[in-house]
Amino acid sequence: DRGRVVVVGGGFGGATAARFLARAGHDVTLVERDASYVTCPFSNTVLGGFARMSDITFGYDGLAAEGVQVVQGEAVGVADGTVTLASGDALPFDRLLLSPGVELRYDALPGYSEDAAQKMPHAWKGGPQTELLRSQLTNMEDGGLVVIAPPANPYRCPPGPYERASLIAHYLSAAKPASKILILDAKEAFSKQALFEEAWATLYPGMIEWIPPSGGGRVAEVDPSTMTVVTDFGRYDAAVANIIPPQRAASIAQVAGVADQTGWCPVSGLTFESDLVPGIHVIGDACMAGAMPKSAFSANAQAKVAAVAIDALLRGESATSPKLLNTCYSLAAPGYGFTVAGAYGEADGKLFEIEGAGGVSPLDAPESVRSAEADYARSWYATITTEAFA
Ligand code: FAD
């Protein structure tokens, strides 16, 4: 039977799910506020100066051609089986799928705000923020201090800040070699840490310094008017400050009542249906998917599981227990990549990591391994953007 499915959010999760639900024969409406989508994955290659914004920007014509009704608009309400848009339009649904991504918590760091982000960009959403950070880097004088301040877990893309430090170093080491990058971290350890530290020592000796909270690295306050970053132990005058605040599920998740007090959305690992509101499914960064990290790879994998489950439920059948994969690729330079991978199963509605099925790239690997992994990263990006947007 054809069902009416509304999908909110045309990012990696929503675009993929809309496509697979349309292919299954359902009546699918995709609501997305923007006319085009700028990916966060590979946005660090723009910051590194070896890709352009146009390389990471995608439209929705491909989805429309597959029969998805693409509506550009802002979803502002969810009640009684209907999504309301800011325009006033109402979209009734049999099942609603939310993949709205994250909202930045501007209230979480004294001195930081939406306005402050115009001077100290987070660049944690693709688009104007990416361009702002890139232009600050290109305008910076040689010898300047670039501060990167990553948040505590959980947040969108655990290895992202460290890939960013690497690719900014790639740019600076050629263009402004007297500059320094200081990572002021809110956590004691980070994803693929040993691999990043090995890459930094090999590729950019002396350029990148990482300070965890125990070393005084936790950022307590920022002042965008003076470009000062204040930590527990000191003050830094930044030429460029990339402040990445803590996050939570985007606001439509709160509006729909599917986010809990953590700010994220508890869901069934079998169907990605909300634990809080029946009939609403949540995938991607907004949901809590056990040990799966908040990545585009995860959002895309969850989209396919949720689409198959929604199709089954609309046909009056039950969902079958899924297996999901995630791989996070990171580039430390254009020809230097490495990965962390995981596999996940479901039991009693909970997702668990399958022991021994994942792992990280080896340390001390030959250059050929690093360059092959950089090629895999580019192939992965081409594949996932084709599956979501082409
Ligand atoms: P999103 O992709 O954010 O999509 C959400 C969409 O919903 C947006 O387009 C938004 O406009 C729309 N929306 C939200 N609310 C509404 C509303 N009310 N009405 C209408 N539209 C709405 N992941 C990887 O797997 N590999 C990587 O290499 C990688 N690199 C990254 C690098 C950086 C610097 C960053 C920041 C992230 C990176 N990620 C990477 C993570 C990846 O970007 C996210 O995990 C992924 O985008 C999550 O997809 P999503 O569908 O949950 O949300």
Instruction: Give the pLDDT confidence score for residue 69 in this predicted structure.
Output: 98
Give me ligand 1 centre to Cα 260, in Å.
20
Q: What residue owns the CA closest to ligand 1's atom 35?
A: 40
Predicted confidence pLDDT, tens digits, the chain (390 residues): 689 999 999 999 999 999 999 999 999 999 999 999 999 999 999 999 999 999 999 999 999 999 999 999 999 999 999 999 999 999 999 999 999 999 999 999 999 999 999 999 999 999 999 999 999 999 999 999 999 999 999 999 999 999 999 999 999 999 999 999 999 999 999 999 999 999 999 999 999 999 999 999 999 999 999 999 999 889 999 999 999 999 999 999 999 999 999 999 999 999 999 999 999 999 999 999 999 999 999 999 999 999 999 999 999 999 999 999 999 999 999 999 999 999 999 999 999 999 999 999 999 999 999 999 999 999 999 999 999 999
Instruction: Give the pLDDT confidence score for residue 1 in this predicted structure.
Output: 66
- Looking up tokens 């597959």 gives 66
Instruction: Give the pLDDT confidence score for residue 154 in this predicted structure.
Output: 97
| ipTM summary value | 0.99
> Which amino acid, 321?
S
How many whole angstroms separate alpha carbon 14 and alpha carbon 32?
A: 9
Could you tell me if the CB of 33 is within 6 A of ligand 1?
yes
| Interhelix angle 296-314/367-389, nearest 10 degrees | 40
> Which amino acid, 332?
A
Could you tell me if the CB of 375 is within 6 A of ligand 1?
no
- Looking up tokens 């125990």 gives 214
CB atoms within 10 A of CB 361: 17
Give me ligand 1 centre to Cα 351, in Å.
21
Could you tell me if the CB of 252 is within 6 A of ligand 1?
yes
Q: What residue owns the CA closest to ligand 1's atom 28?
A: 41
Could you tell me if the CB of 26 is within 6 A of ligand 1?
no
| Interhelix angle 12-23/367-389, nearest 10 degrees | 60
Choose one of 131, 244, 285 to mutate for the ligand 1 pocket test, by most ligand atoms within 8 angstroms of C-beta: 285
CA distances for 43 relative to 46, 124, 321, angstroms: 5, 9, 34
The answer to whether the beta carbons of residues 337 and 373 sit under 8 Å apart is yes
Q: Which residues share a beta bridge with 69?
A: 29
